[in-house]
Every structure is written in C-alpha cells, then in structure tokens.
Amino acid sequence: MATIEVTDDSFKDVIDNNPIVILDFWATWCGPCKGFAPVFEAASEKHPDIVFGKIDTDQQQELSSGFQIRSVPTLMILRDRIMIYREAGALGAGALEKLIEEARALDMDAIRAELAELQKKEGQA
C-alpha cells in the first residue's frame, strides 16, 4: 500500500480501523523530510498490511499542535491506538525496518496491562 495523506478529519478513522499505523509528520520546506520520504514510501510498499500516513504539519495544524510536534520530520507508530514510538529526525531504511519489526513483535496485552497499572497508580496519587 502506498502512503496516504492523514488529515485532522481522517485521523481518528485511520487509527481506529488499522492495527498498526506509522505516521510521518513533515513539512514541504523541510530538507530532511524530503530525504526521508523515499525511505518511508519504500517501507509502505514492503509492508502493505500497515498503514503509512503522512501528515503535512503546515496544513494539519490541529494534529500537529495536538501531538506537540516541534520538529520535523517526526515519526510516530501507533499499535491498537496506543502510541508505542515517537521520535524526531529522519531514519535510514534499516532503522525504520527494525522499528517495524519491533512494533509487530510487541505483546500488546502486556502493554495494555502496564498502562492500566500506571493509570491505577495515578488515580491513587
């Protein structure tokens, strides 16, 4: 699957209906974003079962401010609507591939249990 454009309006639908979503927050004026774009596109072709979305930070300001994007490119991975990775900076193909493998391998039941325990502790504080 090729990359898709994710907008303020489509974001919720994209993350609600796809188990793994990888988002590239970018801007047209950003040199590193342009350099990362072919790596991101190639990964999207290699992994058709994952949604690869691009978010233009200048056009989608609600999403950008909601996620407090301060620098581009910023890569974010969501699995089962839980953010499991977020980092600013362009990645090489090998590093992106490793992240995808790690995202697939996560035990999401353990992650959800850990999050529930944290929320329980925060509720008691």
Domains of the chain: 4-124 (3.40.30.10)
pLDDT for 2 equals 80
pTM: 0.92
d(CA 68, CA 51): 22
Q: Are 3 and 54 in contact (CB under 8 A)?
A: yes
Residue linked to tokens 């796809």: 18
Q: Is the pLDDT of residue 1 over 70?
A: no
The model's pLDDT over 74-108, given as tens digits with 9 standing for 90+, comes to 999 999 999 999 999 999 999 999 999 999 999 99
Q: Which stretches within the chain are classed as H helix?
A: 11-16, 31-46, 61-66, 93-105, 108-124
Write down the mean pLDDT value for the chain.
Answer: 94
Residues annotated as catalytic are 30, 33
